[in-house]
Structure 1
């Protein structure tokens, strides 16, 4: 145990030694197959839950329930060379507590990770687990021989003709949250539809168009600079249940992309950006996904952050079901983001807006904040 004083003694935090929690009973031994989709995302996915009330035995309840749920979700109890899992509980004198969770993205995507946390919560409440995980990841194994049918803009290497790298080296990286409320989204949809280029416009496409354009301008991209949007898309609904059973535990997400110049993106009407986003999303089906896996395993192409924005939407994740016995979380968020990543959350209960979290160099963040307020 160590004592830490913050803000000149305003708060004292006691930090206890980490405790390793083992599965309650024996689990399968040996190596665990990871698909190329799993291996493509070897970083830790950090989430935090805030609860308005708890009890003195919060930590013990969570440990006991974790030991039980790891029997079902046994890959999380294994060992990896990169990105181990961490669990941390912070209790406050007022009775509130926060739960911070870090899981390797190679083991879970958003849906799988949320199923694990909600199953953990069910056990803590003394309830049966409803989302029993399906563990056979060989269902997403690449084909032999490979059947590559499409080009993939995801892997196009972009030259840094705007020298944005020097901006990242010069300025500190800062994270901020911006809320696009229902009125702002409706106005953007109306504008995109009035231009006659698109027939419909989702809230996701409207917000993504605004963010992509503003971020490109804030980073000072020159008109001829190529810029890429990569959208992380869950493809479970694109596969039949025979091909990918319910509660598949693993990564069932791929990125689908669109590529254009910063000049086209920022100087043409907003409907142009919406159209690029829609084209990227519409190409996603089972054939596209399996071809992409074959492409990756055949060529092992590198990914680059230059000129690239990656969108990950968490607006449909069921974090409101993570009740460990003290009520639903009042807030849910993520840890630090990679510089090219942008995450979407629901604006709040009963609201229809989208909260956007992203990281930018300080000067670019200041410019982005002005641009999105226009």
Structure 2
């Protein structure tokens, strides 16, 4: 156990041996289809939930509830594989989910603001398989419960983005929490991802600016290789958001709309859309210009646009541009406040 120096103190976390948690009862065998939307983001999302109180049996409660919820969310107990067509697919091996209990030598107060990304803290509080070298070897789900000296605990979850987007990922965690509290699951997952299969023959009707390859005039690639990646958190509270909206509205007519995503679909129901402009335009023109560019891109998104995009991706297999690209993803409507496992909401 290596000590981590944080906020003037030394934190060590003792992780016990992982236990492979299986679904409590029988689940389907075979292979589980992943759509083209699932193919695009094969990495692990890591989230730390902090709870202000717990009990001595918190680890056992969460482990038993995980076994129950995996009956509904059974693909998470499988393994990533490659299909005969060269696509990612889930093999329903029932390998199980690595579940780890851990103990920290300090109070949770030493963590400070866990909303600020800190890779060293994340590695202490979320389990990753040290033997996994490729995507195919990486668990689709891991869970770690860490108890602190103060009686509080954290739940660290690593989950494959190829299996879930933000909404379905939160549905899983909140269903797990409901079972831990002895409540019925209200968001039973819908598993038929073949609804998002590309069409035969493909019907491509739009250009897709998010795949335009931008010339690396600033030599961004070498900057990433030379300089360390720095994580920053910029907090926009309700007052600042209201002030920004007021500024945009003062410059012209603009509407702030809402989106709807299918409820309980287990998988990625999110696509990217893009607006192309220069950095100079963004800096020199009023904020309304940026708002309008985003709105125009979002307004393209209807079912036909998405179907056409999936056909485009499956036909040409284009990479997303990694140069000169700013990605904006809103998590404001994700139900983090409902992840109560019996000891209150996370903080």
**Contact 1:139 1:244 (8 Å CA) reproduced:** no
Q: TM-score, normalised by structure 2?
A: 0.76
Alignment deviations for residues 138-197 of structure 1 (CA, whole Å, 9 cap, x no partner): 001111111111111110001111223333222211112111233333333333233336
Q: CA deviation at 1:244?
A: 8.8
- Let me know the Cα RMSD of the aligned residues: 3.3
- How many residue pairs were aligned? 286
Q: CA deviation at 1:48?
A: 0.9
Q: CA deviation at 1:12?
A: 4.1
Residues 1:240 and 1:76: Cα distance change in structure 2 (over 3 Å):
farther
**Contact 1:2 1:16 (8 Å CA) reproduced:** no
CA–CA distance in structure 1, aligned partners of residues 37 and 232 of structure 2: 29
Q: CA deviation at 1:93?
A: 1.6
CA–CA distance in structure 2, aligned partners of residues 319 and 94 of structure 1: 23
SS of residue paired to 1:251: coil
CA–CA distance in structure 2, aligned partners of residues 240 and 179 of structure 1: 22
> Is structure 2 residue 7 aligned with structure 1 residue 7?
yes
Q: 2:268 aligns with which of 251, 271, 278?
A: 251
> Could you tell which deviates more after superposition, 1-10 or 265-274?
1-10
Q: CA deviation at 1:10?
A: 4.4
**Contact 1:320 1:328 (8 Å CA) reproduced:** yes
Q: 2:175 aligns with which of 119, 122, 131?
A: 119
Q: Going by fraction, where is strand more abundant, 1 or 2?
A: 1
Q: CA deviation at 1:328?
A: 0.7
**Contact 1:142 1:297 (8 Å CA) reproduced:** yes
Unaligned runs of 5+ residues in structure 1 are 199-237, 330-374
SS of residue paired to 1:287: helix
CA–CA distance in structure 1, aligned partners of residues 56 and 262 of structure 2: 40
CA–CA distance in structure 2, aligned partners of residues 185 and 68 of structure 1: 40
Q: CA deviation at 1:3?
A: 9.2
Unaligned runs of 5+ residues in structure 2 are 82-141
**Contact 1:192 1:274 (8 Å CA) reproduced:** yes
**Contact 2:198 2:311 (8 Å CA) reproduced:** yes
CA–CA distance in structure 2, aligned partners of residues 243 and 30 of structure 1: 32
Q: TM-score, normalised by structure 1?
A: 0.71
**Contact 1:148 1:294 (8 Å CA) reproduced:** yes
Residues 1:68 and 1:194: Cα distance change in structure 2 (over 3 Å):
same
Alignment deviations for residues 331-372 of structure 1 (CA, whole Å, 9 cap, x no partner): xxxxxxxxxxxxxxxxxxxxxxxxxxxxxxxxxxxxxxxxxx
**Contact 1:150 1:291 (8 Å CA) reproduced:** yes
Q: CA deviation at 1:5?
A: 9.5
SS of residue paired to 1:54: coil
Q: CA deviation at 1:311?
A: 1.2
Following superposition of structure 1 onto structure 2, how do residues 35-184 of structure 1 map, counting pairs within 5 Å?
35-81=35-81, 86-184=142-240
Q: CA deviation at 1:11?
A: 4.0
CA–CA distance in structure 2, aligned partners of residues 69 and 33 of structure 1: 20
Q: CA deviation at 1:310?
A: 1.1
SS of residue paired to 1:87: strand
> Could you tell which deviates more after superposition, 70-79 or 8-17?
8-17
Alignment deviations for residues 306-340 of structure 1 (CA, whole Å, 9 cap, x no partner): 000111111111111111111111xxxxxxxxxxx
